[in-house]
Structure 1
Amino acid sequence: MSFIESDERKALREAVRGLATKYGQQYFLDCANTDRKTDEMWEEAGELGFIGVNLPEEYGGGGAGMYELAIVMEEIAAAGTGLLMLVVSPAICGNIIAKFGTDEQKQRWIPGLADGSITMAFGITEPDAGSNSHNITTTARRDGDEWILSGQKVFISGVDQAQAVLIVSRTEDAKTGKLKPALFIVPTDAPGFSSTMIDMDLKNPEKQFTLFLDDVRLPADALIGSEDAALSQLFAGLNPERIMASASAVGMGRFALEKAVSYANDRTVWKAPIGSHQAIAHPLAQCKIELEAAKLLMQKAATLYDAGDDWGAAEPANMAKYLAGEACVKTVDQAVQTLGGNGLTVEYGVAAMVPLSRLTRIAPVSREMILNFVASASLGLPKSY
Structure 2
Amino acid sequence: MSTVLETEELTALRAAVSALGKRHAGPGTPRDFDRAGLWSEAAKLGYLGVNLPAQYGGGGGGIVELSLVLEELGAAGCPLLMMVVSPAICGTVISRFGTEAQKQQWLPGLADGSLTMAFGITEPDAGSNSHRITTTARRDKSTGDWLLTGRKVFISGVDIADATLIVGRTEDAKSGRLKPCLFIVPRDAPGFGRSQIDMELAAHEKQFELTLDDVRLPADALVGDEDAGLLQLFAGLNPERIMTAAFAIGMGRYALTKAIAYARTRQVWKEPIGSHQAIAHPLAQAHIELELARLMMQKAAALYDAGDDLGAGEAANMAKYAAAEACVKAVDQSVHTLGGNGLTREYGLASLITASRVARIAPVSREMILNFISHQSLGLPKSY
- TM-score, with structure 2 as normaliser: 0.96
Instruction: Give CA-to-partner distance per residue, 1:300-327, whole Å, 9 cap, x none.
Output: 0000000001111011100110010001
Whether the 8 Å contact between 2:170 and 2:178 is mirrored in structure 1 is: no
Structure 2 portions without partners, runs of 5+: none
Q: Which amino acid aligns with 2:241?
A: R
1:59 aligns with 2:61: no
Shift of 1:227: 1.2
Partner residue, 2:118: 121
- Report the alpha carbon displacement of residue 11 of structure 1 after superposing the two structures with TM: 1.3
Change (3 A) 1:260 1:177: farther
CA-to-aligned-CA distance 1:245-278 (integer Å, 9 cap, x gap): 0001001000111111111110112210111111
Query: What's 1:156 paired with?
Result: 155
**2:105 alignment counterpart:** 108
Report the secondary structure of 2:25's partner residue.
helix
Deviation, structure 1 residue 368: 0.7
Q: Secondary structure at the match of 1:272?
A: coil
Deviations 1:55-111 (A, max 9, x none): 000011000010000010000100112111000000000000000011111001100
Aligned partner of 1:45 in structure 2 is: 42
**Aligned equivalents of 1:347 and 1:376: distance in 2?**
46
Query: Are the equivalent residues in 1 in contact too, given 2:43–2:49 (CA < 8 A)?
Result: yes
Aligned to 1:9: 10
Find the counterpart in structure 1 of residue 269 from structure 2.
270
Indicate the SS of the match to 2:110: helix
User: Once the 2 structures are TM-superposed, how far is the Cα of residue 4 of structure 1 from its aligned partner?
Assistant: 3.5
Q: 1:75 aligns with which of 72, 77, 81?
A: 72
Deviation at 1:30, TM superposition (A): 3.2
| Aligned partners of 2:172 and 2:179 also within 8 Å | no
Please say if residues 329 and 354 of structure 1, whose CA atoms lie closer than 8 Å, have aligned partners that are also in contact.
yes
What is the aligned counterpart of 1:137 among 122, 134, 144?
A: 134
Conserved in 2, the CA contact under 8 Å of 1:174 and 1:180? no
Q: CA RMSD in A?
A: 1.6
For residues 221-300 of structure 1, the aligned pairs below 5 Å read: 221-300=220-299
Does the aligned pair in 2 maintain the 1:137–1:175 contact within 8 Å? no
Q: 2 CA distance for matches of 1:173 and 1:6? A: 46
Structure 1 residues 26 and 189: CA distance shift in structure 2, 3 A: farther
The amino acid of 1:238's aligned partner reads L
Residues 179, 304 of structure 1: CA spacing in aligned structure 2 closer, same or farther, 3 A cutoff? farther
Q: Are 1:133 and 1:179, in contact at CA under 8 Å, matched by a contact in 2?
A: no
Structure 2 counterpart of 1:169, which letter?
A: G
Task: Name structure 1 gaps, 5 residues minimum.
Answer: 32-36
Shift in alpha-carbon separation, 1:380–1:111, aligned structure 2, 3 A: same
1:112-145 residue CA offsets vs partner (Å, 9 max, x unmatched)? 0111111000000001101100111100000132
Q: CA deviation at 1:281?
A: 0.6
Counterpart code for 1:354: I
For normalisation by structure 1, the TM-score amounts to 0.96
Q: How has the CA–CA distance of structure 1 residues 297 and 25 changed in structure 2, closer, same or farther, with 3 Å as cutoff?
A: farther
Take 1:61 and 1:178, find their aligned partners in 2: how far apart are those partners? 38
Identity fraction in percent: 68
What SS is found at the alignment partner of 1:180?
A: strand
How far is 1:173 from its partner? 4.5
Q: What's the secondary structure of 1:352's corresponding residue?
A: helix
Task: Specify which of 77, 81, 93 is matched with residue 96 of structure 1.
Answer: 93
